[in-house]
Chain A
Amino acid sequence: MGMKRILGATLVACSVATTFATEISSGGRAVVVDQPSQSLPTVRPTIDGVHPIAATQFENMSAFDIGAGAGPSITRMSPPSNLFSFADANPPLISRFIAGQRFDFGATVVPTAGNTITTVEFLVDGALVPGAVATYAANVSGSPAGARCAVQRAYSSSDVGVHTLTVRVTQSDSSVSEATGNFEIVGIADAGKGAPRAQNVIVFIGDGMGIAHRTAARIMARGVSQGKADGLLAMDTMPVTGIVITHSLNSIVTDSSPGAACYATGNKSNNNQQGVFPDDTTNNWDNPRVELIGEFLAREQGRALGIVTTSDVFDATPGSFGTHTQSRGAGTGICDQFLDEAAATGGLKVLLGGGRKWFLPAGTPGSQRSNANDYTLPADLVTGWGVPAGALDSARDLIADFQTAGFTYAATNADLQAVAPTTEKLLGLFAYSNMNVALDKINGRRGASTVVNDYGFPDQPMLDEMTEKALQVLSRDADGFTLMVEAASIDKQAHNMDTERWILDTIEFDRALEVALDFAETDGNTLVVVTADHECAGINIIGGSRVTDASLANRGSRPQNGGTVGLRNEVVGTYEAAGFPRYTLATDGYPMSTNVDRRMLIGYAANADRNEDWRTNPLPLRDSQQPFNNVAPLNTYPSGPVNRDINGKYFVTGQIGDPVAAHTASDIPVSAAGVGAGQFTGVMDNTDVYFKIMQAALGGAN
């Protein structure tokens, strides 16, 4: 029997009649190489569960490349593995699941010319997996004729260890091809009788929060004297800290979807995708799924789930903890899934944030519900996972439906504070899309700004207030709970290089964490983990201003006083010239002013072009909204980083071509406290965080 390998991944194409043909080919002539001495490429091409030969997603591949050989080709396997992509069975295993966690098998298969795919089977360790295999037409750009995406739903195993997954494909001329990948079922160690288990898990995600975001927040909120921090942030006080590697399935630089979904699934996904593995269809809702932490713990143990964010609730991070889609932008469908699936079977009892526009029936002014981004699920998924099929129902009154499902609805902070202690389920939608940031919310409370009024939502809660109410509701559940709390605009304002806004959002985040740590200390059965999904903007503290705020204002308003000399050379103090910037906190916990003399200065490594005058950016909404009030408009206010601070004529050339700063691949910190916190030390992959949480939640910790 002859055998060839495609870059190492075993691919067998054979005639059913002869079992193994002497001439064996993958069907991809251009990529078939002799084995067994084939060495691995020294540099692996981009992977995302796609075989390297198909890493172009069919584009640029001719019929001669695909579908022209003796048997069908297999161009993608899910779960993704290095065994399939690189014939490498060695660790690290790309895809891992805990015992009992459900996930789907998937494969993209391509028949040879003139043939069609007739059957697709999945085998684990050589044994056929019983159950139906559905196939869809592959329809991403460049899909070859007859290409199918096969999927088998809701597999799970309690057999701990590494397993092979083989896909066997038969086409209409009876020729057969196989490809093999692998995955691991991770065991949960029993910590022993009497060992504490984390009945409650609270995951805090500071979106985009790298180590420098924490440092900047500490300097502003606590201060530094003679080389020592005058105080610590709440996250600094957690007993265990480690480092997290954040890459996604298809890039060293992740976005928030896979960056957050890894904590909910234990697995990698492509950018823009959450709770799923990639496939080759354009349907946002048919991808191979991975069971989420909330779904698993609700199904297995009846635990409740809470999702709290300062963003629009459909955004990537909250969406990653309650929904499954390859398109993080599908707002209507994501919000519908929160109720249809997460609340119905995934334990969701608290959902707080912005995003009211997705909950209003189409036609109601302000509603952004649209059938174009709504969802319906294919029949095999509905059957396999036991979930509703969904509907294109833009006219749905989702707030009313949540209320019918037993949720109390809060539209303002006053509503939130009035939530009765007996409340079992809570929906809070405090803004039209993203909530206003901490700086603008707190200035609204102080009467120093009208931003929240001008947005039409003058009474928005702070994140600590949202966290407190979420814990009040969730702690009523005797089975325990999982709570995710996100400070979304640390990231969004870092993208904008709006320094004071992301720093204050980090302070707000830390104040919310303090509420959770107090709860955990009292409760005694809770694990609190604080981390991020990725670093944003390449932020660092580059020093301190050498001058007063009045001097900065002067330099920033007069070109002759600004420029590189006036706003950089004469202002940016490095080393000892940075001194110890000092801010004074008000009784509300936030700086009385961020425009202090000799302020902290921030640099951005993943920066877009910007003008910089170092001063806090105002939001002159009132001026523009007063009709013809003869007030000179603030025409220099930023529509973007290059349009603000322009009078100082200090232009900082960006290192990227994007209009705003970008995420980086830098590692991020993770800190933990409570039951199982001891695991969160050292350097770990972001997916490891999920398994450590599950160890604490299911197996306990010593």
Chain B
Amino acid sequence: MSPRQLSVTLAATLFFAATQSPARLPSLAFVAAAKRQASPSQPSSRPATERLALREIFKMPIGPRGLEFSERARSLADKYVEIEGYLIAQSAPVKGQVLLGPMPMQLHEHEYGFAEDLPATIVHVVLSDAAERTFATGSGLVRVYGVLRLGARNEPDGRVSYVRLEATTAAVYAVNGQDASAALKPAEPGSAPACGHRH
């Protein structure tokens, strides 16, 4: 299959995906595999998808009580979207997940607990092809492509997520020529110091 043929195939796949109900969406693994073959470092070759900025997910500024989903976020729920941000480095990464936030940040859950400087506008990226793997994240800007899910869900690390992006590892692109492999790489055993204390 030539790159052009592959591109057309991928475009057709994504068009089909965007017009289907969530339950009938094509396998993310398939999409990811197609994209990987196309060119993982050239996300622009992929067909246009709805893009959602982190700051567009909730009504800003945040009101006196809870957060409120924007109309745009609601309209994109359960659909494929692309979101740009930074992968949050965590001292206690969760298997099969990374956090996407509006700025580079290093969390130290062992030390701070949940008294943290993390903005409310974060996205839990659920990596379906890496359910048993944890990742050390790089500091560069990335785009993640996946299905947007909204609503409360208790996560394994004790957080409650409200915005999730169901994706695969291949759906995490580095932006502006950055090394994609640096954005999402397997955590090395023992790479996160076991502090076990808090500040």
Residues of A within 8 A of B (CB): 208, 255-257, 271-272, 311-312, 314-316, 328-329, 331, 355-357, 360, 362-370, 372-373, 399, 409, 411-412, 415, 432-434, 453-459, 491-492, 495, 536, 619-621, 624-628, 632-633, 635-641, 643, 657-660, 663
Within the assembled complex, what's the spacing in Å between the Cα atoms of A635 and B51? 20
Interface residues of B in 157-199 (CB under 8 A from A): 158-160, 162, 175-176, 178, 192-193, 195, 197-199
State whether B115 touches A659 (Cβ < 8 A): no
Within the assembled complex, what's the spacing in Å between the Cα atoms of A412 and B65? 11
Taking the complex as formed, is B41 at the interface, i.e. its CB lies under 8 A from any CB of chain A?
A: no
- Using known A-B contacts A367-B160, A433-B114, determine if residue A625 contacts B89 with beta carbons closer than 8 Å: no
A-B contact pairs, 24 of them (CB 8 A): A255-B199, A272-B198, A329-B115, A365-B66, A365-B68, A366-B62, A367-B66, A411-B64, A412-B64, A415-B64, A432-B120, A433-B115, A453-B61, A455-B120, A456-B67, A624-B85, A626-B53, A627-B51, A635-B176, A637-B139, A638-B104, A639-B138, A658-B195, A660-B111
State whether A628 touches B152 (Cβ < 8 A): no
State whether A370 touches B154 (Cβ < 8 A): yes
Within the assembled complex, what's the spacing in Å between the Cα atoms of A492 and B69? 30
Within the assembled complex, what's the spacing in Å between the Cα atoms of A628 and B154? 31
Report the minimal beta-carbon distance from B103 to chain A, rounded to whole angstroms: 5
State whether A314 touches B115 (Cβ < 8 A): yes
State whether B102 touches A625 (Cβ < 8 A): yes
Taking the complex as formed, is B91 at the interface, i.e. its CB lies under 8 A from any CB of chain A?
A: yes
Within the assembled complex, what's the spacing in Å between the Cα atoms of A355 and B114? 10
State whether A659 touches B103 (Cβ < 8 A): no
State whether B106 touches A660 (Cβ < 8 A): yes
Within the assembled complex, what's the spacing in Å between the Cα atoms of A637 and B65? 31
Within the assembled complex, what's the spacing in Å between the Cα atoms of A365 and B62? 11
State whether A643 touches B104 (Cβ < 8 A): yes
Shortest Cβ distance from A368 into B: residue: B160
Shortest Cβ distance from A455 into B: residue: B119
Shortest Cβ distance from A534 into B: residue: B199
State whether A271 touches B62 (Cβ < 8 A): no
- Chain B residues, Cβ within 8 Å of A635: 139-141, 176, 178
- Chain A residues, Cβ within 8 Å of B145: none
- Using known A-B contacts A329-B113, A625-B53, determine if residue A454 contacts B58 with beta carbons closer than 8 Å: no
State whether B106 touches A536 (Cβ < 8 A): no
Instruction: Select which of B91, B162, B176 is within 8 A of A633 by beta carbon.
Output: B176
Taking the complex as formed, is B105 at the interface, i.e. its CB lies under 8 A from any CB of chain A?
A: yes
Within the assembled complex, what's the spacing in Å between the Cα atoms of A97 and B149? 54
- Chain B residues, Cβ within 8 Å of A643: 89, 104, 106, 139
Within the assembled complex, what's the spacing in Å between the Cα atoms of A654 and B64? 42
State whether B106 touches A659 (Cβ < 8 A): yes
Shortest Cβ distance from B192 into A: residue: A659
For A360, A626, A640, the residue with the greatest tally of chain B CB atoms inside 10 Å of its CB is A640
Within the assembled complex, what's the spacing in Å between the Cα atoms of A368 and B162? 10
State whether A365 touches B176 (Cβ < 8 A): no
State whether A456 touches B61 (Cβ < 8 A): yes
Taking the complex as formed, is B88 at the interface, i.e. its CB lies under 8 A from any CB of chain A?
A: yes
A interface footprint on B46-75 (CB within 8 Å = 1, 0 otherwise):
000001111110101111111111000000
Shortest Cβ distance from B143 into A: residue: A628
- Chain A residues, Cβ within 8 Å of B91: 659
State whether A619 touches B66 (Cβ < 8 A): no
Within the assembled complex, what's the spacing in Å between the Cα atoms of A433 and B52? 24
Give 10 new A-B contacts, CB below 8 A, not counting A256-B198, A455-B119, A495-B111.
Answer: A364-B66, A370-B160, A411-B64, A454-B102, A457-B62, A492-B199, A536-B199, A625-B54, A660-B106, A663-B199
Residues of B within 8 A of A (CB): 51-56, 58, 60-69, 84-86, 88-89, 91, 102-106, 108, 111-121, 137-141, 152, 154, 158-160, 162, 175-176, 178, 192-193, 195, 197-199
State whether B64 touches A619 (Cβ < 8 A): no
State whether B114 touches A312 (Cβ < 8 A): yes
- Chain A residues, Cβ within 8 Å of B64: 409, 411-412, 415
State whether B103 touches A620 (Cβ < 8 A): yes
Within the assembled complex, what's the spacing in Å between the Cα atoms of A363 and B154? 10
- Chain A residues, Cβ within 8 Å of B158: 370, 372-373
State whether B55 touches A454 (Cβ < 8 A): yes
Within the assembled complex, what's the spacing in Å between the Cα atoms of A601 and B89? 27
Within the assembled complex, what's the spacing in Å between the Cα atoms of A637 and B101? 13
State whether B84 touches A659 (Cβ < 8 A): no
Within the assembled complex, what's the spacing in Å between the Cα atoms of A433 and B197? 20
For B55, B63, B91, B115, the residue with the greatest tally of chain A CB atoms inside 10 Å of its CB is B115
Report the minimal beta-carbon distance from A249 to chain B, rounded to whole angstroms: 14
For B66, B159, B195, the residue with the greatest tally of chain A CB atoms inside 10 Å of its CB is B66
Report the minimal beta-carbon distance from A59 to chain B, rounded to whole angstroms: 15
State whether B103 touches A624 (Cβ < 8 A): yes
Within the assembled complex, what's the spacing in Å between the Cα atoms of A367 and B161? 9
Within the assembled complex, what's the spacing in Å between the Cα atoms of A240 and B114? 37
- Using known A-B contacts A624-B102, A627-B84, A659-B193, determine if residue A639 contacts B137 with beta carbons closer than 8 Å: yes
- Chain A residues, Cβ within 8 Å of B198: 255-257, 271-272, 316, 328-329
- Chain B residues, Cβ within 8 Å of A311: 115
- Chain A residues, Cβ within 8 Å of B61: 453, 456-459
- Chain A residues, Cβ within 8 Å of B178: 635
- Chain B residues, Cβ within 8 Å of A456: 58, 60-62, 67, 119-121
